[in-house]
Amino acid sequence: MLKRASGLALGIAFLPLAVFASVPDATGRDVVAPKYGLNGFVNNFAPEGWQPQPFYMWTQSAAPAAGAQGPMQAVSAPGAASTAALAPVPASPSASTSTSASGAPTPPAPPPGPVSVRSPKPQLPDGDSFKDTILGEYSLTGFFRKSFKRGQRFIYIDVYDFQTADGAYGAYNYLRRGSTTVLPRGDAASEDDSSISVVQGKTFISIYGTSQDDDETKELLTKLVGQALKSMGEKGTASNVLSRLPQLDLVHGSEKIVMGPATVRRFFPAPYLNSLGLDSASIVGCVGDYQLQEPVKERLKLMVLSFRTIREAQSSYQHFLTDLGTAHDEDTSAMLNQVINVFKTGRTYLGIQLKGADLLMVTGARKRFSPAIVLRQVR
């Protein structure tokens, strides 16, 4: 049985069963390295012929007190002072789709040296602040990156830990690439020629390489995922959030989880979203695409937002209708008495409905009657 190492423990447990030991490096400084659990397995994984690289770790901490000198940083691998810095990291699996708040692609910045960082907000090495914001809304509590080098080829292992299984699944849908795997892995998994993404419980792990169509690298990725799953937490249950999406006409694979204004704007582009007042509201919800066949063929997008209280949902609904009604020169009081309101925005129609503490919206309809077809299916 492994003995618990003495030394410095980070402010929170990074992953289930993860323990961090404090050991001196070549300069005599204390450094923090994971001992066992998933992070320990990843850091100690030693594929034959591949050279392990230093790792990067971020963990959540309380906000610094006034006058503090910013987040704590410490070299995070024994002997790191004599180890080469991390090689430039390629775009993560989300980089092909991740964009900045302005909509322009955000290239990843070169990672810092091997460090352990604690800060109130996610601080990942890619240098993509929009991605950090999205993961913050999903309640990311820890991040760990390990890489391996062989010649000009690199393999990267990114481990994300969240407060809830819904947050982990939301991040999986946001960051994954490729198609669903035939071989069941974890709660959900997908892969392409150079990456494998798996979510299980509150943990999401992404393993990817720099070389495509490389059989040796892909074999190693597959082996690594299989062994990592044995160190991950128990499987989670089906997402209660996504169960709100009606299954009839749903385009499977389009499901997304939203937990704040950034995720809403990322996955549900619609006018007047600022009128919903999401920046100050506590929400959780889901988004999905629908392909109607009858009475006409339509591709629509549905969002279900659940507010903390009915009062918050009513306030958001009223502000939205007021701004939209003013723009379309319509009577807000009359709209508040309707079950479903439909507006024409550009060349398409937008539908909105209030159900208790839930706010339902549909966009992308070419026919005025189409939003109501989807909205009436939401229970």
| CATH number, position 251 | 3.40.1000
Whole-prediction pTM value? 0.76
Q: Are residues 255 and 191 in the same domain?
A: no
How far apart CA 320 and CA 328 sit, in angstroms, is 12
Q: Are residues 47 and 179 in the same domain?
A: yes
Q: Are residues 225 and 250 in the same domain?
A: no
Tell me the pLDDT tens digit for each residue of 37-69: 677 777 777 777 888 887 888 998 754 444 333
pLDDT higher than 60, residue 118: yes
> CA of 185: how far to CAs of 177, 190, 222, 259, 366, in Å?
15, 9, 11, 25, 39
From the CB of residue 377, how many other CB atoms can be counted at a distance below 10 Å? 15
Whether 368 is in a domain gets the answer yes
Q: Are residues 183 and 88 in the same domain?
A: yes
| Residue pair 43/146 in contact by the 8 Å Cβ criterion | yes
Residue 187's domain spans which residues? 19-231
pLDDT higher than 80, residue 184: no
User: Which is more confidently placed, 44 or 87?
Assistant: 44
Whether 5 is in a domain gets the answer no
Whether 1 is in a domain gets the answer no
DSSP 99: B
User: Which is more confidently placed, 56 or 71?
Assistant: 56
Report which of 74, 73, 66 is spatially closest to residue 29, judged by C-alpha positions.
74
pLDDT higher than 80, residue 16: no
Q: Are residues 250 and 225 in the same domain?
A: no
Q: Are residues 225 and 254 in the same domain?
A: no
DSSP-based three-state secondary structure for 322: helix
Q: Are residues 182 and 218 in the same domain?
A: yes
| Residue pair 243/368 in contact by the 8 Å Cβ criterion | no
CA atoms within 13 A on the CB side of 276: 27
How far apart CA 129 and CA 152 sit, in angstroms, is 28
Tell me the pLDDT tens digit for each residue of 227-280: 777 767 667 666 788 999 999 999 998 999 999 999 999 999 998 899 998 987
Domain count, the chain: 2
Chosen domain end from 201, 231, 261: 231
CA atoms within 13 A on the CB side of 22: 9
How far apart CA 193 and CA 62 sit, in angstroms, is 40
The confidence score (pLDDT) of residue 238 equals 67
Q: Are residues 111 and 24 in the same domain?
A: yes
Whether 112 is in a domain gets the answer yes
Task: Grade residue 82 by pLDDT with cuts at 50, 70 and 90.
Answer: very low
Whether 145 is in a domain gets the answer yes
Q: Are residues 200 and 346 in the same domain?
A: no
Chosen domain end from 196, 212, 231: 231
Q: Are residues 174 and 282 in the same domain?
A: no
Task: Indicate the range of 77-86, 245-254, 322-331, 364-373 predicted with least confidence.
Answer: 77-86
pLDDT higher than 50, residue 374: yes
Secondary-structure breakdown of the chain: helix, strand, coil percentages, each rounded to the nearest 5: 25, 30, 45
Task: Grade residue 166 by pLDDT with cuts at 50, 70 and 90.
Answer: very high
